[in-house]
Structure 1
Amino acid sequence: MTTSNQCKWAILVGINYYGYPKDEQLDGSINDIRKMSTFLQEFIQIPAANISMYHDFNEDGAIDKDVKLKRLPTGANVLQALRRVSQNAAKGDFVYFHYSGHGDRKETQYSPLKGNTTTFDEVLCTLDEEIRDVEFGKILDDMVDKELVVLVVLDCCYSGGATRAGFKDQDGNSIKLRQPPNRKRSSNDDMSKTNLDPAKLDTGSSWLYRDRGYNMLAACQPHQKAGEYHGSEGILTHFFRETAESLYAGGSQVTYGMLQSMLNTKVERYFNLQQPMHLGESDKILFSSEIASSSSTDWVNVKKKYSLVGKLTLNQGEVQGVAVGDRYGIFRPGRPFLGLDDKEENLLIYVRVVLVKDMESEARFVNDDKGTTSYGRSGAWKAVKSGYFAKLISRQKKATVIILPDEVHSNIIDLMRQQWKSHSNFAAQISLDFESVEVTKADYFVEIDKDSRTLDIRDSNQQALEDLPAISIDSLDMTEKLMQLLAHLHSFRLVADLQHPSDSVVPKYEFSLTRTVVPKDREDLVARWNLRFTNKHTEILYVTIFNLTEGYAVNKVHPRQGAASVAVDPECDIALDLGTKVPDLLIEKACRGAFEMQERFKVVITTSQTNLSHYCLPDLRNLKIRKLRDTDIMAPRECNWFIVEESVVIEVPHTYSTQAELQKQIWERKEKKDREDEGDEEDEGDEEDEENEEDEEDERYEEDEEDERDVEEGKVTEEKIEEAKKRKNTLD
């Protein structure tokens, strides 16, 4: 999972004794880092010489023989270790940082930097002083700038108002919390740091919880408490190590999203007041900078198995789109299903959903994927455990698509008829109908355009869907492209149509979307908005904000990067400064002149925390053949969610055409280079000529990258505008 030629480094910090009374000190922090050191050496092959460990005194106050003063977990020592590794590591090296101890929130010392978005700093409580989030985050950012691969694990509290008594595990045993004792309750504003560009919005309330180039695992959400596992380890550390070992042992491409899903399931069963949080790219391979070969969002987890009645509980429910009748296959972890290989030999058993709740669902074993009810294969039931993966096999409710007959191109229709079911990833949610002679009710209609020899897709009213990517009937992967496009359109429509039940209890809140002035130096933006959500309810509300574009994209603008919904305290708010760009799918339309487009902002409010990241969809201009997560959405029976929505119409001026033309030319040159690279791989006869061509193309590609950065930053100079016009004239 890490490249063989990279160096690997680790900094491990564990603190039990802070000078509090004996019954208030921690028990498992030092044990955490010792076990993590063994894990990192055995599984990740980090040399012992590259692992720096910092821990404190024993309970009796004596100093371990192997602990020198320079290895004590003081603030200065920890920061010096981070900076030393950052200085010594080379581009591409892997750096692991683990902190086990107390965490806290204090009044911010960085008001000018954080503005009015938060009055708190998250802090790591070292032996003698606190390391503030801004200082810690700056060092991590420096590592990323140096192109190091960074993973941070923080097994500590970040919440306010926790006491050390009254918390039990599933067996009734007391759980010790990793938060300094005798703290007064402090309010949490959970407001995001404002930023003009939606692609650069912060996540959550912490300075650390923002878009980043590193991955982070936090023991709990900002409002929760982190505890210890049987007094011997931190809960996060124990289940992180256990889960990573079981997954890593299979030699598979384990993603952070997979790890997080299993972690949440295991931790919730042990201590349901703590929910770990992953921040970063969920499709990245664990301990690596690489992206997994395919998406892992089709997978859910077994939350609980009932020993005698042949049923189990899955960790997703109606809020995540699960419905009665859905069928899943159960797979054992540690097998080569990641990439994601769902071959028969890795499958344990099939289940069918029989009961759906808001955040979980109950399923019973079936004999096969057709839904025949029984207790399943002999022996397979015993092998299933909590945390095992369940992959969607088929949705009970599918989108119906009528393929209109065409006598002239009957061979194309027959080919489509033969191929569509083989694309099971999309056939789970899309059903093609070739038999309807007369026009009947359907979700979509598909017809062959005889002039352009492309597929024409229409909505349920048979209105043509404009600006879709063209699918040629002469393309070898025509059917696969059609199935993926239909699955994408169906998922987008389901999110767009998402509404709360009519009998929902409406929470008290204030919501506003105000249009503001676009700065003159941001020529890439066509509109700017101030979005504000204020919790006027008497309890915490959990909020997720989506932006739906005319490029058929669903962007989660708050929180970012796959994080769960943001907790907003009573009388606290979220304030976002958003910039609207022309969707990639509409860039060519923008080149032709002025037009109007619609943007939609959808706020999902829940009374318990959930992760709705699987609703996100890319712009259709950037769609590639890959697995898509179905987003079949149903209203929760317990009515624990509510939807706020506002649509706005934006006029794209004709002056935007130059900006769009420059972006279009960048794409065209990149696509041309990709095609030439593919040709170079097939023709190895003249290596010298290829190298010369590649050098010239690389120079042009570097210019393209510079142009693209300017486009992203809105810095299109007069010289580039003239270049764009000349290129356009040349193409014409």
Structure 2
Amino acid sequence: MAVVTCERWAVLIGINQYSDTTARKNLQGCVADVEKTNTILRTYLNVPADHITVLTSPDRLDECIGSNTYPTKANVVDALRKVAKRSNPGDFVYIHYSGHGDRRPTQYAELKKGPKHDEVLCTLEDDLSDVEFGGLLDHLVSRGLAVCVVLDCCHSGGASRLGLGASIRCRRAAEEAANGGQYDGARTRDLRNAVPIQSWFYRPRGYNLIAACQPHETAVEWGGADGKIYGALTYHLIETFLSLQSSTEPITYGRLYEVLEAKCRSKLKQQPMHLGDRSRVIFGSATSLSERGDFLASVIRTSGADVTLNKGVANGISIGDKLRIYHPSQSFLGLLNPKATATTEVIVTSAGKLQCEARSVTGSADDLQGVLVGWLAQLSSRANTAIVNFLLHHEERDSSAYVAVERLQLECQLYASPYMPLDIRLNALDPEADITVEFYENDILKFRDRHGNDLPHVPAEHLSGSLNARQMTSLLQHLCSYQLALSIKNPKTFSIPRYTFEILPDQVEDGDTDSLAAWRVQFKNLHNQFLYITIFNLAPAYGIYQIYPEDHASSAAVDPGEDIPYLVIDMKVPPLLKEASTQPGFKMRDIIKVFITTVQANFSHYCMPDLQGWTESDTGALTKVIQKRHAKLVKPQTEPWFVDEKEIITSVDLEGS
């Protein structure tokens, strides 16, 4: 579980009233959607009221004139721009729209080069087109914000919101019904199918988007248990939030969507759509789950001044690590609230494979009074420090390089995460150094691991001159975390479960010109009991990806005598290595590592993204650019028909015996 230091912001838009004279053009549950969402944000996530902009329609449209609190296009645009100005990189922005949607002939034919229509949000006074809205979202993302957009409306052609009260969320369909025409659901579904994925809303972007339904479906309203009408998406999304609220691991969009989709499938004919990075944490910072670098443990036993936690050596716990204890009410969806207050702090006294013993830092049982099984423990500091030694190949002691490293020694503690503390040393020639950085003339940096092996392609070319402390600290922590995972070996044990684990060549899919190779990952359980496994890809651009099971799930059970599903990983050159891959003799090294346990465990805290490089922001500051490695798991293609045969040989006994 991550301690959330980022701020959270929200823009909530709900429009029931579209006409003062024609009731059938209006909707029923949109304002209720916003009110319920606002309650969740403020009650469970402690989002400050002044960080939430609520724009809802009045009972009469003439009240909107000159007001900045109603959902006109100008007010919606202004609200999003204000969030961009007030927020900081790493903050989270939640945008919710409930209202009519529509489709009209495109005003951006040259830009779209394909789709002949614009999808629009029907804000009051004027529509907000998909291109305009997408531009506003792109701007938020470009400022380093994590953005989640929820659209409980028509989002592709003729989707409507039909059901209780026959409210229709497609403006054209509503107007047709209001004019006495019959709403032709089949016709509008066909219309939507014409360009289901080409809408400008759904092109690949840096934000996550949750839409009410699939392109061929209609979005309906839903009667809540409180007697109010809501959008079906909004109602079941909030129901999903609440069902996952006690999770001890941050919830990714992938996990959220699995539960949401299951709820909708069991009750509705519509299925929500998610587009974006499934590994990102909902309500988390701009970093993904892969970038957390920390984790939460649960209390599984208490005894006086001691507690037992469900994390151990395999999870990276060491004797001397400290953890803060929190009441479960201090978290929501696996994230500690920004103002969460710890009950006490404990220090690890012994560490087993998958659990550890910890004692109150004061040694007093009074500190743990009231702490129960199921309470949460957040890592606050590690006992072990990663040693980084800078070797300077400069003769002058007062050279700029010496000055820069000495400054880094002083400043790195301001930026270093407690989950990977650093000990920066200068010309120490320390054989225990986890990372050695050689600083040559002309500001050339070379990185080596603890065995003296070269760490190639580290993107530090923009950092050597000024040796920016914040960015260098981030880079070194990333490399040390990667090396830590790389160094994990089998524990000393007298009993090792029986299994086979192989990586075998496979075929690259037809038409895939980007993949250099394909490899099949095989694991078979030969043990006499269930084994639980998690498989990671330690990639050549210093990313660590959980490839089985996906979406940072807990380890998957493999029955005795059974194999895991047929899994193939396509190996593509990551962006960091693109230039190097054009040179003769280029090779890249991937490590496939499997964690095997006899009980279910979660190792997703080892995950990290690829290093891609550094870019200069609008303010002149250097920020890290992170991009996932282009490797994917695929399932084998199955032909639609098969031919098989067996041979029977029949002989004739000529002797008649």
Q: Could you tell me the TM-score, scaled by structure 1's length?
A: 0.47
Query: 2-side partners of 1:385 and 1:477: how far apart?
Result: 47
**Which residue number in structure 1 is paired with residue 313 of structure 2?**
318
Structure 2 residue 408 is the aligned partner of structure 1 residue 431: no
Q: Following TM superposition, by how much is the alpha carbon of 1:615 offset from its aligned partner in structure 2, in angstroms? A: 1.2
TM-score relative to the length of structure 2: 0.51
**2:508 aligned with 1:521, yes or no?**
no
Q: Is 2:455 the counterpart of 1:469?
A: no
1:647 match:
none
Shift of 1:610: 1.0
Q: Check if 1:419 corresponds to 2:411.
A: yes
* Larger gyration radius, structure 1 or structure 2: 2
Alignment of 1:98-247 (within 5 A): 149=210, 240=244, 243=246
CA deviations over 1:649-704 (Å, ceiling 9, x no partner): xxxxxxxxxxxxxxxxxxxxxx6xx75x668xxxxxxxxxxxxxxxxxxxxxxxxx
| One-letter identity of the residue aligned with 2:318 | A
Q: Tell me the equivalent position of 2:566.
A: 575
CA contact (8 A) 1:281 1:562 kept: no
1:427–1:483 CA contact under 8 A, matched in 2: no
Equivalent runs, 1:240-279 vs 2, <5 Å: 240=244, 243=246, 256=251
Partner of 2:577: 586
Letter in 2 for 1:149: I
Task: Please state how far the C-alpha of 1:563 moved relative to its aligned partner.
Answer: 0.8
Is the 1:299–1:389 contact (alpha carbons within 8 Å) kept by the matching residues of 2?
no
Tell me by how many angstroms 1:475 deviates.
5.7
Question: Cα distance, 1:617 vs. partner?
Answer: 1.9
Query: How far apart are 1:354 and its partner, in Å?
Result: 0.8
In the TM superposition, what is the alpha-carbon distance from 1:396 to its structure 2 partner?
2.4
**1:276-302 deviations in Å (ceiling 9; x for gaps):** xxx98464334x997689955524134
Distance of aligned partners of 1:380 and 1:458 in 2 relative to their CA distance in 1, 3 Å threshold = same
The reply on whether 1:43 has 2:40 as its aligned counterpart is yes
Q: Give CA-to-partner distance per residue, 1:397-435, whole Å, 9 cap, x none.
A: 333222335513332232122112223406844322347
Aligned-partner Cα distance in 2 for 1:460–1:41: 51
User: Could you tell me which amino acid in structure 2 is paired with residue 285 of structure 1?
Assistant: I
1:530-549: CA deviation from partner (whole Å, max 9, x where unpaired): 22222233322212111222
CA deviation vs aligned residue, 1:173-226 (integer Å, no higher than 9, x gap): xxxxxxxxxxxxxxxxxxxxxxxxxxxxxxxxxxxxxxxxx99x99xxxxxxxx
**Judging changes above 3 Å, is the alpha-carbon distance between structure 1 residues 338 and 476 closer, same or farther for their aligned structure 2 residues?**
farther
The residue that corresponds to 1:549 in the other structure is 539
The Cα of 1:608 is off from its aligned counterpart by 1.1
Q: In the alignment, is the contact (CA less than 8 A) between 2:14 and 2:34 conserved in 1?
A: no
Q: Is residue 2:605 matched to residue 1:618?
A: no
Unaligned residue ranges in structure 1 (runs of 5+) = 10-35, 48-83, 97-139, 153-213, 219-233, 248-253, 262-278, 367-372, 625-670, 680-707, 714-732
State the partner residue of 1:284: 281
1:478 paired to 2:468: yes
What is the CA-CA distance between 1:524 and the residue it aligns to? 0.6
Quick one: which of 418, 438, 448 aligns to 1:447?
A: 438
- Checking the alignment, whether the CA contact within 8 Å between 2:308 and 2:355 is kept in structure 1 is yes
Contact 1:545 1:604 (8 Å CA) reproduced: yes
For 1:440 and 1:588, locate their aligned partners in 2 and report how far apart those are by CA, in whole Å.
33
Distance (whole Å) between structure 2 residues aligned to residue 324 and residue 8 of structure 1: 56
Aligned counterparts of 2:594 and 2:567: Cα–Cα separation in 1: 13
Residue 588 of structure 2 aligns to a residue whose secondary structure is: strand
Q: d(CA) in 2 for partners of 1:411 and 1:495?
A: 32
Query: For residues 576 and 86 of structure 1, do their structure 2 counterparts lie closer, same or farther at Cα, with a shift above 3 Å needed?
Result: farther
Name the CA distance, whole Å, in 2 between partners of 1:239 and 1:311: 31
C-alpha separation in 1, matches of 2:319 and 2:506: 45
The alpha-carbon deviation at position 553 of structure 1 amounts to 1.9
Residues 71-104 of structure 1 deviation map (CA, whole Å, 9 limit, x = unaligned) = xxxxxxxxxxxxx9999996843569xxxxxxxx
Q: Which structure has the highest helix share of the two?
A: 1
Q: Secondary structure at the match of 1:572?
A: coil
Distance of aligned partners of 1:547 and 1:339 in 2 relative to their CA distance in 1, 3 Å threshold = closer
Alpha-carbon RMSD: 5.3
Measure how far apart 1:580 and its partner are: 0.6
Cα separation, partners in 2 of 1:311 and 1:8, compared to 1, 3 Å: farther
- 1:203-259 deviation digits (Å, cap 9, x = unpaired): xxxxxxxxxxx99x99xxxxxxxxxxxxxxx9x998746x49xx9xxxxxx952699
Question: 2 CA distance for matches of 1:294 and 1:551?
Answer: 14
Q: CA deviation at 1:483?
A: 2.6
- The equivalent position to 2:323 in structure 1, one of 328, 334, 342, is 328
Partner of 2:491: 501
Instruction: Give the conservation status (yes or no) of the 8 Å contact 2:304–2:368.
Output: no
Does residue 93 in structure 1 map to residue 150 in structure 2?
yes
Deviation at residue 528 of structure 1 after TM alignment: 1.1
1:4-46 deviation digits (Å, cap 9, x = unpaired): 334599xxxxxxxxxxxxxxxxxxxxxxxxxx99987853699
CA deviation after TM superposition for structure 1 residue 303, in Å: 1.5
Aligned position for 1:352: 347
Which of 275, 297, 302 matches 1:301?
297
User: d(CA) in 2 for partners of 1:392 and 1:500?
Assistant: 24
Equivalent-residue separation in structure 1 for 2:434 and 2:360 (angstroms): 31
Residue type at the aligned position of 1:602: K
2: distance between equivalents of 1:600 and 1:611?
Answer: 19
Equivalence for 1:106:
none
Unmatched 5+ residue regions in structure 2?
Answer: 1-7, 17-32, 43-53, 56-98, 104-119, 122-129, 131-148, 154-195, 214-232, 257-275, 621-626, 633-657
**Is 2:2 the partner of 1:5?**
no
CA separation of 1:517 and 1:257: change in aligned 2, threshold 3 A = closer
The question of whether the paired residues in 1 share the 8 Å contact of 2:529 and 2:560 is answered with yes
- The aligned amino acid for 2:296 is V
Tell me, yes or no, if the aligned pair for 1:322 and 1:356 is still in contact at 8 Å: yes
